Chains A and B, each alone.
Chain A
Amino acid sequence: MTVAPEKNPPIKLPNEPAITPQIVAEHGLAPDEYERLLKIMGRTPTMVELGIFSAMWSEHCSYKSSKVWLKKLPTKAPWVIQGPGENAGVIDIGDGQAAIFKMESHNHPSYIEPYQGAATGVGGILRDVFTMGARPVANLNALRFGDPENAKTRHLVSGVVAGIAGYGNCMGIPTVGGETNFHAAYNGNILVNAMTVGVAQTDKIFYAAAAGIGNPMVYVGSKTGRDGIHGATMSSTEFNEDSESKRPTVQVGDPFVEKLLLEACLELMATDAIIAIQDMGAAGLTSSSFEMAAKGGLGLVMELDKVPMRETGMNPYELMLSESQERMLMVLKPGREDEARKIFEKWELDFAVIGHLTDTERMVLTWHGDVVGNIPIPPLVTEAPMYERPWTLTPLPAELDAAKVPAPNDWKASLLTLMSCPDLASKSWIWHQYDHLIMGNTAIRPQGGDAALVRVPAASKGTAKSAGHKGLAMTSDCTPRYVQAHPETGGRQAVAEAWRNITAVGARPLAVTDNMNFGNPQKPEIMGQFAGAIMGMAEACTALDFPVVSGNVSLYNETEGRPILPTPTIGAVGVIDDIATSAGSRLDQSGLALVLIGETKGWLGQSIYLRELHGREDGAPPPVDLAVERRNGDFVRGQIVGRRVHACHDLSDGGLLVALAEMCLSGGTGACIKLPVRDVAPHAYLYGEDQGRYLIATDDGGALVEAARKAGVPAVLLGYSGGPDIAVDGLLRMPLQELLDAHEGWLPGYMNSAA
């Protein structure tokens, strides 16, 4: 099929302004991009056409700076059903079931209006997953806020958490995991990355590609209002002092309507009436209709006056660019409209046939019978700007000699400081606001293990739920200070830590979704961070058989020229065949042997200890040896599913002593360990952040150490659980209760204190 010539050039609407260079610039199109547009169109565009190009070619929708790099990530494995390019990634989890998942950012809106920004971030990612036919089974979120001392931080934490809670709780999807960090680099640009995991039957997955000339295009869900117009363009620019005046470009969510939309869509999906379906996310009706037509190699006619409208006096430009929430676009089989309409009317949602598919490969927009837009579809996609922006890699910093980092004067004070510092303090103030138990499938809750673990509902209908033993493990990870110090190592580490967290509950890591949050890509050093992180991630994903199946890129995360820490958040999913064989991280029993798996050299460069106790963020981040990572992880997983592990925790921020303290606090049991005699300084041994390590509690420490020796995995017995104290022989002894008060107390104390 080829693009038909333009038969009906659009009319100019009354009051439509002339297209001036200023209007083009306001639409975020560079002069050469506008030249490209003119070449494609062969004439001056109308306002609605200009708006469509602006949205489709925004960084947010086109990935114009990142595409060349994203192609370097591995995306294939025998269990991958759908990689990047659809609404979400799809992997096979056995028994005819698929896990469908993705993570997406809503950074800019959440900074401008935290409650609605975060809420609609959750709403958007949920739609991405259920539009493919999955029932969402879990949400996670990765949040990065500014310095707690920053005047705005408290307000942003409170609004973002309430927004996520308000949306996810009402939808009835458990929010089971995530991470929250604080760093001054996010003062003017917080990160809100939301992830949804859903489950579908592998033979009932829905895609966006339209098919069938003449088939009806149907609009369902909420009415279209004026909210969020140009959201995609807004999120593709840097912030400045005026950004808060952009509040009207933030969408407003209604989780109640989305819940109805979810149920109505799943009810219709149980029939075979749908050919294609796409949610209206960024750039609303524009990107959804374009993607459906482009993927199907077809054209379409949309009668915009038939779009359900929330306000009077709306025009085609507003209708095409609105980012009103809770809307879907579908292509139905001919003659199935009434059947579908009945379902949506039952759920009290709007349902309107707003157009049909054509063979012209053109998008023709009409308004009360007049053509107001007429755009050839393929060139808008194929000739979209794509940039190979200049990049400079961040050099690897010099390794920090641990011997030159002072030991703590007071061991007890050092542990208290770390366990109550903003990054390591308990986040229970946050996750108690999230319904993490609804659906009755949550086996590992927040703070209960390294990954959340959720039972997969039984495959066949009508079977009691207890018949299902399979579980999905999920986590989200990134250590931005490592990525900042050396993006390749940081990228590698983010993937490895996600893999390790899935492993630490006994599950097989299967695939990841990446949410790339970076600064302005037009600066070579920022583009270099992006490039470096991708190289590291690609290497780790390949070595660990852990392909990327979906993702999202958020650039221009800068305020007044100051970029955020580069933050490639990794969301990961794994599967365990029988939840009964999983392990949490709670040390809830006395007399268990504590065995450290992996090698400890005492790496203090870029450690939390260095930052929190000595106010320094320097040195090289800990190296990640992927072969060792795999060997150690495979061993640990085997021990867990073989039921030789009572509890397991990976070692990450804060190293061994922080990991032990977390296990003790979550399980309410003390422990006493003794450092093995060796040439590593105690503070480097206890607080170093060497990678590829786990702390395991087991009934039979000797057997575990012996099994590790046979597998060529370093393992050492450190001590035993029991008693009311946490103790390190000769260095430290303190009551758990005191540590618990500090650990649990920081965040509520901070949130409840006056600004």
Chain B
Amino acid sequence: MKAAVLVFPGSNREGDVAQAIELVTGRRPQMVWHGDGDFEKVDLIVVPGGFSYGDYLRCGAMAAQSPVMAEVKKRAAQGVPVLGICNGFQIVTEAGLLPGTLMRNSHLKFVCADVHLRVETSQSLFTNRYQAGQVIKVPVAHAEGNYFADADTMKRLEDRGQIAFRYCGPDGSIVDGRGNPNGSSSNIAGVFNDTKTVLGLMPHPENAVEPMFGGTDGKALFEGLVEALS
């Protein structure tokens, strides 16, 4: 699997995700600078976490207008898989590759903590190594992860199985927002586009790939991609 990781001014988890990909594939992904609208052909594009453009204006709003994102939109339309993590989720949402928006956390503070996620479907490039209903533990680290979409969009996401991950209790239960770190609608942690070739999620599977450093529950996401895309 050949992967590209985008780098914007202010990105700061590009190294983490590059390391996770290297750990799984044995190959360092290509790092692509935000001004580079013409990068090598790859099997997977990763939009990493961070504070692109200092989060000025609105998280992800400026990065969504960068030359590299114009190219990403083009390739996504051709079916090239795109993974947006945290600020990357905000960017791909701002770029219109995913529905909905990410608002300020309901408690108004930055939150960094392990959370439990329920894998809502195993029927995707990204989640094929998980079981539907499986509970995994990965960290979040954000101030704007409060996913919101209008009622019609929410219904469509539900009906088409576009919800990838939900925040839950350690036993997988979803009870009135418990375990939800940011107040997101319907406990949503990650969503797909309608072809399930674009995944955006707030949690950081790339920070849960080694036993001594936060556990290994995020590793299967990258392994699943390798299996699907190699």
Q: Which residues of A contact B221 (CB under 8 A)?
A: none
Q: Which of B88-96, B106-114, B172-180 contacts A (4 or more CB under 8 A)?
A: B106-114
How does the 8 Å CB contact mask read for A586-611 relative to B, with 1 for contact and 0 for none?
Answer: 00000000000000000000000000
- Are A433 and B109 within 8 A (Cβ)? yes
Of A162, A466, A580, chain B has the most CB atoms within 10 Å of the CB of A466
- Given B15, B51, B53, B204, which contacts A437 in the complex, CB threshold below 8 Å? B204
Count chain B residues whose beta carbon lies closer than 8 angstroms to a beta carbon of A: 34
Compute how far the CA of A579 lies from the CA of B51 in the bound complex, rounded to whole angstroms.
30
Q: Which residues of B contact A455 (CB under 8 A)?
A: 213
> In the complex, what residue of chain A is closest to B16 when comparing beta carbons?
A440
- Given B54, B110, B207, which contacts A256 in the complex, CB threshold below 8 Å? B54
- Given B16, B111, B212, which contacts A439 in the complex, CB threshold below 8 Å? B16
Of B51, B141, B207, B213, chain A has the most CB atoms within 10 Å of the CB of B213
Q: Which of B6-14, B39-47, B64-72, B222-230 contacts A (4 or more CB under 8 A)?
A: B6-14
Compute how far the CA of A166 lies from the CA of B53 in the bound complex, rounded to whole angstroms.
14
- Residue A675 interfacial (CB < 8 Å): no
Give chain B nearest CB distance to A640 CB in angstroms.
15
- Residue B149 interfacial (CB < 8 Å): no
- Given B19, B109, B112, B212, which contacts A435 in the complex, CB threshold below 8 Å? B112
- Are A170 and B12 within 8 A (Cβ)? yes
How does the 8 Å CB contact mask read for A248-284 relative to B, with 1 for contact and 0 for none?
Answer: 0000001111011000000000000000000000000
Compute how far the CA of A171 lies from the CA of B141 in the bound complex, rounded to whole angstroms.
13
- Are B9 and A435 within 8 A (Cβ)? no
Q: Which residues of A contact B139 (CB under 8 A)?
A: 437
- Are B51 and A256 within 8 A (Cβ)? yes
Known contacts A256-B9, A256-B54, A347-B9: does B213 contact A436 (CB below 8 Å)? no
How does the 8 Å CB contact mask read for A427-464 relative to B, with 1 for contact and 0 for none?
Answer: 00001111111111111000000000001000000101
Known contacts A165-B110, A432-B112, A439-B16: does B23 contact A259 (CB below 8 Å)? no
- Are B110 and A440 within 8 A (Cβ)? no
Give chain A nearest CB distance to B135 CB in angstroms.
17
- Given A169, A170, A440, which contacts B19 in the complex, CB threshold below 8 Å? A440
> In the complex, what residue of chain A is closest to B139 when comparing beta carbons?
A437
- Are B19 and A433 within 8 A (Cβ)? no
- Residue B28 interfacial (CB < 8 Å): yes
Give chain A nearest CB distance to B67 CB in angstroms.
14
- Residue A10 interfacial (CB < 8 Å): no
- Are A433 and B9 within 8 A (Cβ)? no
- Are A438 and B141 within 8 A (Cβ)? yes
Compute how far the CA of A579 lies from the CA of B23 in the bound complex, rounded to whole angstroms.
18
Q: Which residues of B contact A442 (CB under 8 A)?
A: 213-214
Known contacts A172-B50, A433-B111, A464-B23: does B12 contact A440 (CB below 8 Å)? no
- Are A256 and B56 within 8 A (Cβ)? yes
Compute how far the CA of A436 lies from the CA of B110 in the bound complex, rounded to whole angstroms.
12
Q: Which residues of B contact A255 (CB under 8 A)?
A: 51, 54
Tier of interface size on chain A: 35 or more
- Are B141 and A259 within 8 A (Cβ)? no
- Are A170 and B54 within 8 A (Cβ)? yes
Known contacts A254-B54, A579-B212: does B19 contact A465 (CB below 8 Å)? yes
- Are A438 and B207 within 8 A (Cβ)? yes
Q: Which residues of B contact A162 (CB under 8 A)?
A: 109-110
Q: Which residues of B contact A256 (CB under 8 A)?
A: 9-10, 51, 53-56
Q: Which residues of A contact B120 (CB under 8 A)?
A: none
- Residue A348 interfacial (CB < 8 Å): yes
How does the 8 Å CB contact mask read for A345-361 relative to B, with 1 for contact and 0 for none?
Answer: 00110000000000000
How does the 8 Å CB contact mask read for B83-122 relative to A, with 1 for contact and 0 for none?
Answer: 0000000000000000000000000011111000000000
- Residue B194 interfacial (CB < 8 Å): no
- Are A170 and B51 within 8 A (Cβ)? yes
Give chain B nearest CB distance to A426 CB in angstroms.
13
> In the complex, what residue of chain B is closest to A263 when comparing beta carbons?
B9
Q: Which residues of A contact B171 (CB under 8 A)?
A: none
- Are A438 and B16 within 8 A (Cβ)? yes
**Residues of chain A from 159 to 203 with CB closer than 8 A to chain B in the complex:** 162, 165-166, 169-172
How does the 8 Å CB contact mask read for B6-35 relative to A, with 1 for contact and 0 for none?
Answer: 000110110110011011001010000000
> In the complex, what residue of chain B is closest to A170 when comparing beta carbons?
B51
Compute how far the CA of A169 lies from the CA of B143 in the bound complex, rounded to whole angstroms.
10
Give chain A nearest CB distance to B202 CB in angstroms.
13
Q: Which residues of A contact B9 (CB under 8 A)?
A: 256, 259-260, 347-348
Compute how far the CA of A443 lies from the CA of B28 in the bound complex, rounded to whole angstroms.
23
- Residue B38 interfacial (CB < 8 Å): no
Of A165, A254, A437, A442, chain B has the most CB atoms within 10 Å of the CB of A437
Compute how far the CA of A442 lies from the CA of B204 in the bound complex, rounded to whole angstroms.
14
- Residue B210 interfacial (CB < 8 Å): yes
Compute how far the CA of A254 lies from the CA of B204 in the bound complex, rounded to whole angstroms.
25
Q: Which residues of A contact B110 (CB under 8 A)?
A: 162, 165-166, 169, 433-435
- Are A432 and B111 within 8 A (Cβ)? yes
> In the complex, what residue of chain B is closest to A461 when comparing beta carbons?
B28
Give chain B nearest CB distance to A315 CB in angstroms.
30
Give chain B nearest CB distance to A80 CB in angstroms.
29
> In the complex, what residue of chain A is closest to B53 when comparing beta carbons?
A256
> In the complex, what residue of chain A is closest to B11 when comparing beta carbons?
A172
**Residues of chain A from 698 to 735 with CB closer than 8 A to chain B in the complex:** none
- Are A170 and B10 within 8 A (Cβ)? yes
> In the complex, what residue of chain A is closest to B212 when comparing beta carbons?
A443
Compute how far the CA of A671 lies from the CA of B214 in the bound complex, rounded to whole angstroms.
26
- Are B54 and A437 within 8 A (Cβ)? no
Known contacts A171-B12, A580-B212: does B112 contact A440 (CB below 8 Å)? no
Compute how far the CA of A435 lies from the CA of B214 in the bound complex, rounded to whole angstroms.
13
Contacts A169-B141, A438-B207 aside, 9 further interface pairs with beta carbons under 8 A come to A162-B109, A172-B12, A255-B54, A433-B112, A440-B20, A440-B209, A441-B213, A455-B213, A465-B22
- Give 29 A-B contacts (CB < 8 Å), ordered by A residue: A162-B109, A165-B109, A165-B110, A169-B143, A171-B12, A172-B12, A255-B54, A256-B10, A256-B51, A256-B54, A256-B56, A259-B9, A259-B10, A259-B12, A260-B9, A432-B112, A433-B112, A434-B112, A435-B112, A435-B141, A437-B112, A437-B141, A438-B207, A439-B16, A440-B210, A440-B214, A442-B213, A465-B19, A465-B22
Of all A-B residue pairs in the complex, the 9 with the closest CB atoms, nearest first, are A172-B12, A256-B54, A435-B141, A170-B51, A435-B112, A440-B16, A433-B110, A465-B19, A165-B110
